[in-house]
Chains A and B, each alone.
Chain A
Amino acid sequence: MADRTLMHMTAARLRDAIARREVSAREVAEAALAQVEALDARVHAFNQVTPDLALAAAERIDRMVAAGEDLPPLAGVPAGIKDNMNLLGTRTTCSSRILENYESVYTCTAVQRLLDAGALPIGKCNMDEFAFGSSTENSAFGPTRNPWDLERVPGGSSGGSAAAVAARMATVSLGSDTGGSIRQPGALTGTVAVKPTYGRVSRYGLVAFASSLDQIGPFARTVEDAALVLQAIAGKDPMDATSVDEPVSDYIAALDAGVAGLRVGVVTDMLELEGCAGEVRASVERAAKAFADLGADVGEVELPMSRHGLSAYYIIGPAEASSNLARFDGIRYGYRVPDAEDVLDLCMRSRAEGFGTETIRRVMLGTYALSAGYYDAYYGQAQKTRTLIMREFAEAFERFDVLLTPTSPTVAFKIGEKASDPLAMYLSDVYTIPLNLAGLPGISVPAGLCEESGLPIGVQIAARHFDESTMFRAAAALEGALGLDMTPPLVRET
């Protein structure tokens, strides 16, 4: 009988317990698979569970233990992988009908690095189709449910990766973040969620959404675990020319440095935005006070251009997506209509039948924004807005070391609540989008539970390009000061 209580341990503790032979990697893999068996019928965090891959990886770790070898940093740590990252031996579906049967033919660099660090791949996590969405309702295979309240969304698009960690079916997971797709579900599920600096992690093997914005990053239940995962996956990759050849700092060494004297800027005009829930605002203020109590130098800053980020993003994101998704043509891979008359008919009907509603909406929006007569008015204008947003951040980072904002304006909403209103859904990412446009790193840290609903609230900490160390340091200090228990009721009950 598998011991599912192992799934309450952090990645750092699991590895140490395996190294000390208190538990085997196989027992940890079995615990994770048992937790999936117990909960995933209700949560639906996974599109595909991979017991064979997990047990094989565990066996490798247990052989290393038996041989007395040094263990890698994530040895025996159960990991979920968003279903837009290729992993040999799994399908990579992007939660789309058009890729429903697509078998990975190579492994994504970030996933390979995670496995090289000793992680056990538990499965491929559900997502909004092609990462278009903020609720994981846009999956062709059905929504993921929030472990805190099964009637609510886990956020998105990396909702499966977030829910898997929140429900203790994986200890850590990988997501991808184009406009908030890691941080927003992190906030809504009470997990720690990181979007690294653009270029910090290779995108090779990640199915592209918007190539100038996409970045892979971790989910975990502690800041330390998130730092361990980023440490493992970060760094230059010859297979991704946009990955940056910048030394990877020792994130773990930075965690205990404290925040005395650290300059923390509270972004006040973001708190004033219409639609920001009172309790979300209160959580940011509570976090700011915690920083001040720890000796940080807390001040206020405004980022007025960032309010135009949402418009810029809903031009740039769909524009890049419409181009990236041109590869789904029904010819080389993916769904093909059986009765095409000619190549054009084959392409047009395979795409229309294979793509879901939101994917079609984004491709249409992007194609429109790039089309003759509208390019300058939309795409050109959005790119210039991006310049001003970057400039505004650069000025803010002259005065502050980190910036503090909400992660998302609301707690997790009900399944179906925003499904028919694309604009309302898009507003979910209003605080996360500016960092993608500027290429900056950001982390969502649990900052409280809503008094009325008991649902998690997250705050976002942003740092300078490639200064994830300071971001983690501030996040670890906040986590320690708040001392929250982020165990969902579902996990307590089972």
Chain B
Amino acid sequence: MSVLLDPLVKAVRSRVVSGLDYVELRADDVVETSIELRESSIESVTRRFECGHSARILKSGRWGFAVSDGMRDVSETITEAVKAARALSRTAVSDTSLHGVKPVKMDVPSKARIPLNEVDLAEKVSYLTSICRNATKADRRMTTTKASYSDITGDRVLVTSEGTEVRQSLSHAYLKTSASGNTSGRLVSARDEIGTVTRGWERFTEDGSGDKIVERLARKARLQMDGVSCKRGTHPCVISPKVSGMLAHEALGHLSEADLFAAGAFNGLEGARVASEVVTMVDSPWIEDGFGNITADDEGVLPKTVILIDKGLIGAQMTNREWATRLGIEPTGNARAQSYRVPPLIRMRNTYFERGDVSLDEMLEDKKFGYYCVDVSGGQAESNSSFQVSIQECYEIVKGELGRPVRSLAISGVATKSLALIDGVGKDFDFESSYCGKLLQAMPTSDGGPHLSFKKGGVVFGGSA
């Protein structure tokens, strides 16, 4: 007997769903472990237990959604969602319909080799403490280190009135570390993030992962201390796979989400050229170690790879079932919800530029002066294709060679113009794991690509912060 699946299946087969166009029931029974360290000492360790369910229903073309804690009275939650949909005013949208899909029945086990919930808390605390201590030792100017770790294990279930039943065993973990210091009266800080949605504790312990985090943190912090200010304005530049991933995600990915496409800068430009033919960008449901990996989306759709930019031309859009109907295309499996507490939205998964054939040295060699942006600390997109990316590791390029490190800064641009100024696509590839925010929902995603080279005018440097 399944604590989550059985009550949902029973409810979706009960009389309460009769007359409804669609019923989607989702439930979580999870344990989240959070550990917060500051200055190498533990600030808090907390275990959070969460069990609850939600009902999303479509009735006469109108959506209703209700959430309830625990697993009692699922039928009552459906009734609450129906009441909400019925109460919408007559002028509300009533033409919503969903693209049909073949029901799926799946049981997706965790692929973790060392399950996160079987690792002692003491071992996790010890691992984090060691990172914080070693980061401070790596450079005595670093006075404060912080580590925020959380993992989620448990079950997530989706049941629909069409017969879909998906049970997933969750193994999510995320670690954010930062180091701060003071040099010549100036505060500096650097941060690092790693995460997994497919692996277990081995993600943090194999291949010297902890040592690599310390090495990265120390390097980025030193660069901040020793760095020079960036010259404001536009310059030729090369961006690393992590930065190109952020660009893929912020500048182009969001614009290719069908709900945002319709109101954004790409609307009316379907099939138009926005970049040179060496530029291809995709959103994929599965890459090795991808933080955005999914097996089925939160509407029960088996996900597909979507080619967003195809040899420089605007390609397909990412959809849920509702937008697939509107656009008359197959759903792509991009409906994702942070938890049962919120309805699914159209979200990216693993978004990246495809490789090209240029080496980093070749990109650098023709630049008299410019910047090489290596690592990011966040970003944001707008529907008019304006992007902003915050950079925490950057170097000058002087006469084709890497020069002095540059203090943290932000870059920006308008994607519809910037893409046309890409003059080189690297033959390497890497990606970054992070959380993406949309309408207050945070979803794990991976963003990546090869090195990219931009001509002057493609990217604006806002000056060191």
Is B a genuine binding partner of A?
A: no
Interface residues of B (CB under 8 A from A): none
Interface residues of A (CB under 8 A from B): none
